[in-house]
Amino acid sequence: MKSEWKTGLKARTSADNFLKKSLSSNYFTYQQIFEMLVPLIMDQFFVSIIGLLTTAMISSSSQESVSAVSLVSPIYAMTYAIFSSISAAGTVIIAQYKGNGNMNMVKKAAGQIVMFTVVSAIFFSIVLSFFAGSLIDAMFADADICVKNKATEYLIGCAISCIFLSLYMGCVAVFRGIGQTKICLKLSMIINLIHLFASFIFINILQLDIIGTSLSLNLARVIGGGVALYCLLGEKSGLGIRLKDIMRINGSILTSVIQTSIPFAMEQLCFNGGAILVSMFIVKLGTKSVAANAVANSTVAVFYAMGLAVSNLAVPVVGQCIGAGDRRMAKNYGKKMIWLGEFSILLSLAVMVPFLKLILGLYQAPADTIGDIYKLLVIITLPMVLFWSTSNVLPNVLRAAGDVKFTSYVSLGVMWIVRVGLSYLVSIKSGAGIVGVWICLGMEWLIRSIIFLLRFHSEKWLKTLF
Nearest to 340 by CA among 311, 300, 320: 311
Instruction: Compute CA distances 388 → 44, 203, 206, 341, 421, whole Å.
Output: 16, 35, 40, 8, 21
What integer pLDDT is reported at residue 450 of this predicted model?
A: 95
Amino acid at 173: A
Most confident segment among 113-122, 273-282, 366-375: 113-122
CA distance 343 to 337: 10
What integer pLDDT is reported at residue 121 of this predicted model?
A: 83
Q: What pLDDT band is residue 52 in, cutting at 50, 70 and 90?
A: low
**H or E segment and range at residue 379:** helix 367-400
326 has pLDDT over 60: yes
Q: What is the pLDDT of residues 197-213, one digit of tens each?
A: 887 888 777 777 777 77
113 in Cβ contact with 101 (< 8 Å): no
Mean local confidence (pLDDT), 224-246: 79
Q: What pLDDT band is residue 128 in, cutting at 50, 70 and 90?
A: confident
Q: What is the pLDDT of residues 160-180, one digit of tens each?
A: 888 888 888 888 888 888 777
Mean local confidence (pLDDT), 428-444: 85
Q: What pLDDT band is residue 191 in, cutting at 50, 70 and 90?
A: confident
CA distance 313 to 334: 11
Q: Which is higher by pLDDT, 49 or 298?
A: 298
What integer pLDDT is reported at residue 446 of this predicted model?
A: 94
395 has pLDDT over 70: yes
What integer pLDDT is reported at residue 445 of this predicted model?
A: 92
Q: Mean pLDDT across the chain, nearest whole number?
A: 79
What integer pLDDT is reported at residue 15 of this predicted model?
A: 66
CB atoms < 10 A from the CB of 204, how many? 13
Nearest to 45 by CA among 233, 149, 165, 189: 189
374 has pLDDT over 60: yes
What integer pLDDT is reported at residue 466 of this predicted model?
A: 45
Q: What pLDDT band is residue 454 in, cutting at 50, 70 and 90?
A: very high
Q: Which of 182-191, 224-233, 394-403 has the lowest mean pLDDT?
A: 182-191
What lies within 8 Å, CB to CB, of 359 at 6+ separation is 52, 299, 302, 352
CA distance 252 to 62: 51
CB atoms < 10 A from the CB of 142, how many? 12
Amino acid at 167: L
Instruction: Compute CA distances 148 → 68, 132, 151, 278, whole Å.
Output: 7, 10, 5, 17
CA distance 27 to 99: 9
Q: What pLDDT band is residue 448 in, cutting at 50, 70 and 90?
A: very high
What integer pLDDT is reported at residue 291 of this predicted model?
A: 75
Mean local confidence (pLDDT), 104-117: 82
What integer pLDDT is reported at residue 272 of this predicted model?
A: 67
CA distance 288 to 375: 14
Q: Which is higher by pLDDT, 285 or 349?
A: 349
CA distance 196 to 247: 33
Q: Which of 45-54, 147-156, 355-364 has the lowest mean pLDDT?
A: 45-54
Tell me if residue 224 falls in helix, strand or coil: helix
45 has pLDDT over 70: no
Q: What pLDDT band is residue 465 in, cutting at 50, 70 and 90?
A: very low
Give residue 191's Cα distance to chain centre: 16
Q: Which of 101-115, 303-317, 414-428 has the lowest mean pLDDT?
A: 101-115
Using CA atoms of 204, 207, 210, 215 in order, give the dihedral in degrees to the nearest 10.
-80
Nearest to 312 by CA among 282, 341, 345, 269: 341
Q: How crowded is the C-beta side of 91, counted as CA atoms within 13 Å?
A: 29
Q: What pLDDT band is residue 394 in, cutting at 50, 70 and 90?
A: very high
59 has pLDDT over 50: yes
421 has pLDDT over 80: yes
Q: What percent of the chain is predicted at pLDDT more than 70?
A: 86
Most confident segment among 45-54, 249-258, 272-281, 344-353: 344-353
What integer pLDDT is reported at residue 458 of this predicted model?
A: 87
DSSP alpha helix (H) spans, 234-363: 243-247, 251-283, 287-303, 305-323, 327-352, 356-361
Q: Which is higher by pLDDT, 7 or 30?
A: 30
373 has pLDDT over 80: yes
Mean local confidence (pLDDT), 224-238: 81
3 has pLDDT over 70: no
